[in-house]
């Protein structure tokens, strides 16, 4: 499994304090399984829940959520589909400035297996497919014309800057 180490690097990149004290970022896998098919292909897939625990965390939880959701966009894009939960969180408030923050993220890793002529195997962890749409391209309506842009958030916010509940 390679995704836990990759996610750790993404979190530490936005919260460098965790690099100085790595014991405060604990990760473990549970509820894991292996999926395989009954074909000549020898590939398989890991499916597991990655638990990420930030111990006595005094930073801004939102920066952690940003690191994880950005990482998911590239490494598990189906987890960040609009209207669906990306991952679960639990927070234990230690005091007014410190929390234990736990994230539970369902992950998959596909492994391509190739048999070598010498009898060994080559294992390749596959990257996730490219997302369906690039973020910077306009959507095209069924008539072939560009879809109308949505209004800027500032145009739909109330006088205090609050967005409607569906945002």
Domain count, the chain: 1
pLDDT value, residue 159: 63
Between the alpha carbon of residue 112 and those of residues 39, 42, 49, 53, the distances in Å are: 13, 7, 21, 30
Is residue 164 in some structural domain? no
Q: Which helix (H) or strand (E) holds 71?
A: helix 61-75
DSSP states of 140-162 as a string? B-TTSSBPPPPPPHHHHS-TTSP
What span, in angstroms and rounded, lies between the C-alpha atoms of 63 and 81? 20
Collect contacts of 133-142 with beta carbons under 8 A, ≥24 apart.
Answer: none
CA 116 to chain CA mean position, Å: 33
Answer whether 0.85 is exceeded by the pTM: no
Is residue 142 in some structural domain? no
Contact residues for 90 (Cβ-Cβ < 8 A; gap 6+): 101, 102, 104
Is residue 167 in some structural domain? no
pLDDT per residue rounded down to tens, the chain (167 residues): 899 999 999 999 999 999 999 999 999 999 999 998 777 778 889 999 999 999 999 999 999 999 999 999 999 999 998 989 999 999 999 999 999 999 999 999 999 888 889 989 888 888 877 655 555 555 555 566 655 555 555 555 566 655 555 43
pLDDT value, residue 93: 94
Nearest to 86 by CA among 50, 135, 53: 50
pLDDT value, residue 67: 96
Is residue 161 in some structural domain? no
What tokens were used for 102? 């736990």
Burial state string for 129-141 with b = 16 or more CB within 10 A and e = fewer than 16: eeeeeeeeeeeee
- The DSSP call for residue 58 is -
Burial class for 42, CB neighbours closer than 10 Å (0-12, 13-18, 19+): middle
Task: Tell me the residue range of the domain where 105 lies.
Answer: 3-127
pLDDT value, residue 123: 87
Is residue 111 in some structural domain? yes
Is residue 29 in some structural domain? yes
């Amino acid at each position: 499994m390679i995704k836990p180490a990759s996610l750790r690097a993404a979190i530490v990149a936005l919260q460098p304090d965790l690099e100085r004290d790595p014991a405060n970022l604990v990760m473990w896998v549970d509820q894991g399984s292996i999926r395989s098919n009954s074909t000549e292909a020898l590939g398989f897939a890991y499916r597991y829940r990655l638990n990420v625990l930030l111990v006595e965390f005094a930073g801004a939880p939102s920066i952690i959520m940003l690191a994880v959701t950005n990482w998911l966009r590239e490494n598990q894009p189906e987890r960040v589909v609009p209207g669906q939960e990306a991952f679960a969180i639990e927070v234990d408030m230690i005091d007014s400035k410190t929390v234990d923050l736990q994230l539970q993220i369902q992950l998959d890793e596909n492994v391509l297996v190739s048999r070598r002529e010498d009898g060994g195997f080559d294992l390749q962890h596959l990257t996730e497919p490219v997302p369906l749409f690039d973020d910077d391209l306009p959507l095209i309506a069924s008539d072939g014309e560009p879809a109308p842009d949505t209004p800027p958030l500032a145009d739909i916010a109330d006088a205090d800057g609050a967005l409607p509940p569906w945002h």
